[in-house]
Amino acid sequence: MLRVVIDTSSLVSTVLTRGELMRRVVAHWRSGTFTVLSSPATRAELAVVLARPSIRELAAAPLDELVRGLERFSEHVPGALDLAGACRAPKDGKFLACAVEGGAHYLVSSDRDLLELRHCRGVAIVNPGQFLLALELVPKTHWAACQSWPHYMPVTARCTNANTAITRNRMIAEMVHPRPAFLATPSIPPVPAKNKTT
């Protein structure tokens, strides 16, 4: 089963904006597509942030449900690993530590300091859009058997016009480590350029 850490900024966005990307990520979580990991520190931070009056005033969804959901429906990591100094912002270290200690494949974040790392000790660090792209382009049967997979990082790129399918395949084929055969870049010829008229 795919193992994932979702940071506080991404989780909070689900109750503030009900954005489409995180709504779909949470739907995959609820359907069992992947396992969410949490540590005492990451759960505590979520509770503290959601208790802020400014957040409660702006919330577009019940806050307590999210806190209870992370508590009840995530795999609890002890939180014994200390990765101080691994990230530019000390407050983000708890998410890296949780991901590494729990053997996560992905850390999903909207935080620039984390995203600039791209990966840490075999954990791919991606934004919600990149993670969703990987989830929805790879069959669930493959995610179910990914315990021993190498971790990978989709490349950020734009999908346009006739090259959309090719670009998307390349996004999920770009690996941090050697690729599983079924994720190798497909042999699809490029779309020929149209001849310019004179």
Look at residue 50 in the predicted model and tell me its pLDDT: 92
Q: At what angle do helices 40-50 and 93-101 cross, to 10 degrees?
A: 140
Domain boundaries, the chain: 2-183
Q: What is the pLDDT of residue 88?
A: 81
Residue 35 has pLDDT above 90, yes or no: yes
- Lowest mean pLDDT segment, chosen from 38-42, 79-83, 109-113, 185-189: 185-189
Return all residues near 67 (Cβ < 8 A) that are at least 6 apart. Answer: 43, 46, 47, 50
Given a cut of 90, whether residue 115 has pLDDT beyond it is yes
> Looking at the predicted structure, is the pLDDT value of residue 194 above 70?
no
The C-alpha atoms of residue 47 and residue 104 are separated, in whole angstroms, by: 22
pLDDT at 5: 98
Q: What is the pLDDT of residues 140-160, one digit of tens each?
A: 555 555 544 434 433 333 333
For the chain, the C-alpha Rg in angstroms (whole number) is: 18
Indicate whether this model's pTM tops 0.75: no
d(CA 82, CA 49): 22
**Percent of the chain scoring above 70 in pLDDT:** 69
Cβ atoms of residues 128 and 155 within 8 Å = no
Higher pLDDT among residues 191 and 67, named by residue: 67
- Does residue 175 or residue 102 have the better pLDDT? 102
Element housing 112 (H / E): helix 112-115
What is the reported pLDDT for 144? 56
Average pLDDT of the chain, as a whole number: 76
CATH 3.40.50.720 applies to domain 2-183: no
- For residue 54, the surrounding DSSP H or E stretch is helix 53-58
Whether residue 45 has pLDDT greater than 50? yes
Query: What confidence score (pLDDT) does residue 16 get?
Result: 85
Residue labelled with tokens 């600039």:
116
> Tokens representing 110?
């909207």
